[in-house]
Amino acid sequence: MSHLTGPRLTFAGRFLSDVSTRNNSSENYENPPAGPDLWNALGGGTLEPLGCRVTGAWLDATAHTDDPAVGYALSGADDRPSAKMVDLDPDWQMASELWGFRLRIFDSSNGALAVEGEFTPASFRDLYTRQFRDPGAENGQPAGGRYVSTLTDVTWGPAASQSAVMRALRDATRAGELAVCLHQFGYYYATSHARYRTGTLIGSIGPRLPDEAQTAQVSRRLLPFRTQAGTVLSAVDLMVGSSSLGADLGHALIIDDPDGTITDLGDFLKLGATRSIAIGLAPPAGAVGPLPDEQVTIFGETKVLEPGWYPRSGGIAEWPLDATAQARVVGAPLHLYLRTERGLYPCNAETAEGLFVRTDSFVRRLDSGDTVTVAFNARRLGQPAVVTIALGDPVSPSDGQPRADALTYPRQLVTDQHGHAELHIGSGHSYRRDNIDGMVFAIPYTPHLSAGPAAPATVGLGALDQVVVHQREPFAAPAAPDWGRDVLPVLRQYAYLYPVMSRHLFDLADEGAVRTHARHMLLAMARPITDPNYMPVTRDLSDAKRDMILRWLQGAVSQTNSQLVERRLRHEHTAVALPGPAAAGLAPPGDTGPDAKTTAARIASGLTGAGEG
Amino acid sequence: MLLIHADFVTRVRAAETPAALLELIQGAVELEFSTIPPYLTAMLSLMPGTNREIWEILHSVVVDEMLHMAVGCNLMTALGGGARIDSPAFVPRYPTHLPMAINSGLLVPLQAYSVTTVRDVFMKIEAPETPLVFPFAAGPVPYATIGEFYRALAARLGELGPDVFVGDPTRQLDAPQWFGSRLRPMRQPQDAIAAITELVSEGEGTKTSPLDAQGDVAHYYRFEQLLHGHRLVSDATAPQGFAFRGAAIPFNPANVFPLVPNQQLDALEPDSQAYRRATQFAFTFTKLLKALHETFNGAPKAFDNAMGLMFELRLAGQKLCSLPVGNGTQTVGPVFKYVSQSG
């Protein structure tokens, strides 16, 4: 995304993610639930930036430290319910999405708006074990993920006009849009810790250029660098701009702690103390390092161990290129190097043939009879490319079985000269799981190199780079929905999965309580899915079932007095009998083993059997 | 005793223009709103799932105060102005004398629920000029109210006539799905007079009855029920026809969080769960103020966001107030403070 080159704001702070965890376990979908609470049974899904500030204002690859935007505050919307972080389904927890997030930057000294925009819902990607040296760290979640998305409906305020960098950003970006990137890592699971449910957030905002993907950075990619121990430098996304080369180094670098202190990789690999990370052309064939400078063409380097480099830069390294360098970079594979006191060590190589293919909006909810469209973007050495992409059969993660008839889509796509293709996926044979609506399917895809299908790892794709579809069951709603027969089975499951409702608001499984709150539920359930107040927060209810509940609620509302709330001075709630320790209070997290994200990140990082809490 | 400066009433009676009335009504809006954090704090101190009847009674009063605030905001819009809600100045720092009230009068804190709080704070906030006395055990205590202010306002609007209703009525909040017929757009003095009359009766009852115009028990007597532990019911044997001899209202004092009263953010360790939850609560509260400001300043549809934020505030508050703080003998109190971001 064009947050890699050009005018850019970088920011850092923490984030709150109050994800609910009972729905992480499919046993909790049973009646009554039989699974564990895990570490946040009472979560409500809120995603909120905490104490975030603009840390850098960058123009022409230079930090403008005096720009007034430095120090501006960054938050979510200040006049509506909070943004939500949501997993698709218990069978796919590795692509948490942000919904209803409006990002705001403002001058906290006077409240004046600088810029704000709506974050296009997107999933995080490129999960891997960032706290590589200490995967059993006290915060409990050593993995990190990255969001790339587009801010739309962008509004500029008076605090922007005082900032030269923001003025340049506004001129450079497509009207009403901006590009945004978020790194999240260092998340704390332990309920007793001061930082429980929070993690570190570092990010950047840049211009949105024409013909870019909405929720992905698709230009050039350097492959992960692995040693025997695992992935010590993850994939690096980079982009050649008009006079510079920009790369997201930050997300690729392993860190020593939840705060994001960059690991001295040279020291860790016993190659000597790290001096910098450098970008250049590929090394001579077979060369392993340390290489002297004369043997390598280097275009730029960054001292990533400089204190504060990561939050100040957003992890983005941008190196100016003169015309000669520009010409070389455009046509040849690039390579990342670790410079230590001994010399240059080749690390990340570019993808085979410079090929990089990535999807937009790859996490989808599909109702019976509907179709969803997933956009594919293909580049070769950063240029739009015509690429054949082979698609595999849909595989259900719950049992690893392919079910070719579950979804309807072609098994091959070819991108056009803009590097663009659309995959239309229609519903197919309806499969369901015990107690959970429908089934989730992962569709693997394989771009073709000139000689044929690429091994995904050679073109920078990992195990999680698949299209993921939750296909819901068909559901024929009765003309007059009945509480006990139709509504209760759906709402009771939500009551079990989200005890925050019955503990703190009202019991979704109690007809009287739901009738009392019917207007509020109607308000929340009738909103568009992008609204932060949309219910169910998890967005996992099919349209047909939701319509059925809405109709029942409308009936309930018209039956009751339209006066606000209960003039009744007595009201009886019968709480759902919460099974197990949750009824007595927050269950301690216990030793439930690594969760799906941690496991996925460990797989991505090539870690096996490393000690874990 | 809740006494306001007599000057407010004098100024209402002398007001000649809408603008002259707007500042005075802003004060009334701030007053109605300022009672809400103390009631909410008491509600948040009741452990979830316990003392629910008390919670419902407090909640019913909060809803009425919100409605009263909405009446004031709509009246300001009707007179061509707009309530100023989106501001740190809108929220007092507790313990506080309420807006418009004299400084030697009642000091209102944010504290956990107790019968003492009901008697010494809530009943004093809502007390009528001449409370009616219904049999219970002890004798009556005289209090003062801002009822006189509201009655003077209603009278003055009647005298000034329809010419002062210069505002665009579509900018007023008209939300029948939430307020039914209790919040109607005000186009002329009679609309405002009717709304104000209802508002006053909801707080105080009337000179002859503890019931308001809608037939519900007025706030003062609703709280008095909590004092005596029994509902106020019609009683033909009682001199004025009512007695606190109805159903018992159960109260278990063990199921009340020992909140820190008047919790300040800077009393909390910055790198702690308590601080994070408290700032999250305060930021959610601020978002609610902003949503209400937008609602009453030209975007009535923002009220839906306000409703969503009220639920979010409740969730944030209940989770906050269960958190032990300090040496563990108390829990964190809610922080009703205007803050620009969380964390």
DSSP string, B296-310: TTT-GGGHHHHHHHH
Give the bridge partners for A47, in sequence order. A17, A83
Residues with Cβ within 8 Å of residue B214, at least 6 apart in sequence: A567, B182, B198, B202
Mean pLDDT value across chain A: 91
Give the pLDDT score at B10. 86
Could you count the other beta carbons within 10 Å of the beta carbon of residue B283? 25
The mean pLDDT of A485-501, rounded to a whole number, is 93
Q: What is the distance between the alpha carbons of residues A52 and B341, in angstroms, rounded to a whole number?
A: 9
Closest chain A residue by Cα to residue B295: A79
Residue B315 distance to chain A (closest CA, Å): 6
How far from chain centre, in Å, is Cα A554? 36
Q: What is the pTM of this model?
A: 0.92
pLDDT bucket at A595, cuts 50 / 70 / 90: confident
Angstrom CA distances, A548 to A410, A485, A487, A520, stand at: 33, 12, 8, 16
Residue among B165, B37, B50, B32 nearest B99 (CA): B32
Percentage of chain A modeled with pLDDT above 90? 84
Q: A505-526 burial, b for 16+ CB within 10 Å, e for fewer?
A: bbbbbbeebbbbbbbbbbbbbe
Task: Please say whether the beta carbons of A404 and A393 come within 8 A.
Answer: yes
pLDDT bucket at A210, cuts 50 / 70 / 90: confident
Give the pLDDT score at B101. 77
DSSP letter assigned to residue A154: E
Residues with Cβ within 8 Å of residue A360, at least 6 apart in sequence: A213, A214, A215, A216, A374, A375, A376, A377
Residue among B218, B191, B24 nearest B129 (CA): B218
Range in A88-102, A216-230, A386-400, B130-144 the model is least confident about: B130-144
DSSP letter assigned to residue A476: -
Tokens of B17: 């223009």
Cα end-to-end span (Å), chain B: 38
Angstrom CA distances, A59 to A157, A313, B212, stand at: 20, 12, 65
Q: What are phi and psi of A244, to 5 degrees?
A: -160, 170
| A532 has a chain B CB within 8 A of its CB | yes
pLDDT digits (tens, 9 = 90+) for A149-169: 999 999 999 999 999 999 999
The answer to whether B60 contacts A569, with C-beta atoms less than 8 Å apart, is yes
Q: What is the distance between the alpha carbons of residues B335 and B44, in angstroms, rounded to a whole number?
A: 12
Give the pLDDT score at A572. 31
The answer to whether B180 contacts A561, with C-beta atoms less than 8 Å apart, is yes
Percentage of chain A modeled with pLDDT above 70? 93
Pick from A73, A533, A566: CB nearest B56: A566
Give the bridge partners for A156, in sequence order. A115
pLDDT surpassing 80 at residue A2: no
Task: Please say whether the beta carbons of B35 and B176 come within 8 A.
Answer: no
Give the pLDDT score at A146. 98
Residue with tokens 């010419």: B163
The identity of residue A553, as a single letter, is L
Could you count the other beta carbons within 10 Å of the beta carbon of residue B245? 16
Rg (CA), chain B: 20
Q: What is the distance between the alpha carbons of residues A474 and A115, in angstroms, rounded to a whole number?
A: 43
Tell me the three state secondary structure of residue A191: coil
Closest chain A residue by Cα to residue B320: A504
Give the pLDDT score at A564. 43
Q: What is the distance between the alpha carbons of residues A312 and A10, in angstroms, rounded to a whole number?
A: 7
Burial class (CB in 10 A: 0-12, 13-18, 19+), A457: middle
Give the pLDDT score at B104. 61
Give the bridge partners for A373, in sequence order. A424
Paired sense of beta strands A363-366 and A466-471, if any? parallel
Residue with tokens 């759906």: A490
Tokens of A315: 């992890």
Give the pLDDT score at A580. 34
Question: What ipTM did this prediction achieve?
Answer: 0.90
Residue with tokens 């809006």: B29
Give the pLDDT score at A419. 97
Residue A218 distance to chain B (closest CA, Å): 33
Tell me the three state secondary structure of residue A59: strand
Phi/psi region, residue A53 (left: phi>0; alpha: psi -120 to 50; beta: rest), is beta
Closest chain A residue by Cα to residue B250: A570
Within 8 A of B247 by CB-CB distance, chain A residues are: 570
pLDDT bucket at A342, cuts 50 / 70 / 90: very high
The answer to whether B56 contacts A81, with C-beta atoms less than 8 Å apart, is no
Among A16, A17, A20, A80, the residue to mutate for chain B (most B Cβ within 10 A): A80
The answer to whether B305 contacts A48, with C-beta atoms less than 8 Å apart, is no
Q: What is the distance between the alpha carbons of residues B195 and B201, in angstroms, rounded to a whole number?
A: 10
Dihedral sign of CA atoms A360, A362, A364, A370 in order: positive
The answer to whether A195 contacts B271, with C-beta atoms less than 8 Å apart, is yes
Tokens of A427: 């519903």
Q: What is the distance between the alpha carbons of residues A238 and A218, in angstroms, rounded to a whole number?
A: 9
Residue A567 distance to chain B (closest CA, Å): 7
Tell me the three state secondary structure of residue B194: helix
Dihedral sign of CA atoms A283, A285, A288, A290 in order: negative
The mean pLDDT of B285-301, rounded to a whole number, is 97
Q: What are phi and psi of B171, to 5 degrees?
A: -85, -10
pLDDT surpassing 60 at residue A70: yes
The answer to whether A505 contacts B308, with C-beta atoms less than 8 Å apart, is no
Phi/psi region, residue A354 (left: phi>0; alpha: psi -120 to 50; beta: rest), is left
Within 8 A of A186 by CB-CB distance, chain B residues are: none
Residues with Cβ within 8 Å of residue A328, at least 6 apart in sequence: A281, A297, A299
Identify each DSSP E strand in A130-212 by its residue range.
Answer: 140-141, 143-156, 178-185, 187-188, 198-206
pLDDT bucket at A579, cuts 50 / 70 / 90: very low
Range in A363-377, A554-568, B115-129, B188-202 the model is least confident about: A554-568
Closest chain B residue by Cα to residue A188: B273
CA dihedral A219, A392, A544, A375 (to 10 degrees): 20
Percentage of chain B modeled with pLDDT above 90? 72
Residue among A293, A338, A300 nearest A318 (CA): A300
pLDDT digits (tens, 9 = 90+) for A16-41: 999 999 999 999 999 899 999 988 99
Residues with Cβ within 8 Å of residue B202, at least 6 apart in sequence: B64, B68, B212, B213, B214, B216, B218, B219
Cβ-based contacts under 8 A for chains A and B: 140
Give the pLDDT score at B131. 66
Largest Cα–Cα separation, chain B: 61
Angstrom CA distances, B164 to A368, A594, B8, B20, B167, stand at: 58, 67, 19, 11, 8
pLDDT surpassing 50 at residue B281: yes
Residue B105 distance to chain A (closest CA, Å): 31
The answer to whether A570 contacts B178, with C-beta atoms less than 8 Å apart, is no
How far from chain centre, in Å, is Cα B251? 22
| A44 has a chain B CB within 8 A of its CB | yes
Give the bridge partners for A376, in sequence order. A359, A421
pLDDT bucket at B134, cuts 50 / 70 / 90: low
Tell me the three state secondary structure of residue A415: coil
| A45 has a chain B CB within 8 A of its CB | no
Within 8 A of A78 by CB-CB distance, chain B residues are: 283, 286-287, 290, 340
Residue A556 distance to chain B (closest CA, Å): 13
Q: What is the distance between the alpha carbons of residues A16 and B341, in angstroms, rounded to a whole number?
A: 12
Which residues numbered 472-501 in A keep a CB inside 8 Å of some CB on B? 500
Q: What is the distance between the alpha carbons of residues B224 and B222, in angstroms, rounded to a whole number?
A: 5
The mean pLDDT of B96-122, rounded to a whole number, is 88
Residue A229 distance to chain B (closest CA, Å): 34
The answer to whether A194 contacts B307, with C-beta atoms less than 8 Å apart, is no
The identity of residue A274, as a single letter, is T
Within 8 A of A52 by CB-CB distance, chain B residues are: 341, 343
- H/E run at residue B288: helix B273-295
Give the pLDDT score at A129. 96
pLDDT bucket at A609, cuts 50 / 70 / 90: very low
pLDDT bucket at B102, cuts 50 / 70 / 90: low
Give the pLDDT score at A581. 34
| A79 has a chain B CB within 8 A of its CB | yes
Within 8 A of A518 by CB-CB distance, chain B residues are: none
DSSP letter assigned to residue A30: S
- H/E run at residue A447: strand A439-449
Q: What is the distance between the alpha carbons of residues A366 and A441, in angstroms, rounded to a whole number?
A: 11
Higher-pLDDT residue of A308, B145 = A308
pLDDT digits (tens, 9 = 90+) for B216-255: 898 999 999 999 999 999 999 988 899 999 999 999 999 9
pLDDT bucket at B284, cuts 50 / 70 / 90: very high
The answer to whether A567 contacts B60, with C-beta atoms less than 8 Å apart, is yes
Pick from A73, A561, A569: CB nearest B231: A569
Q: A5-18 burial, b for 16+ CB within 10 Å, e for fewer?
A: bbbbbbbbbbbbbb
| A193 has a chain B CB within 8 A of its CB | yes
Closest chain B residue by Cα to residue A79: B287
Tokens of B251: 């109260």
Within 8 A of B290 by CB-CB distance, chain A residues are: 78-79
Residue B176 distance to chain A (closest CA, Å): 7
Residue B135 distance to chain A (closest CA, Å): 21
Paired sense of beta strands A244-248 and A343-349, if any? unpaired
Q: What are phi and psi of A182, to 5 degrees?
A: -125, 130
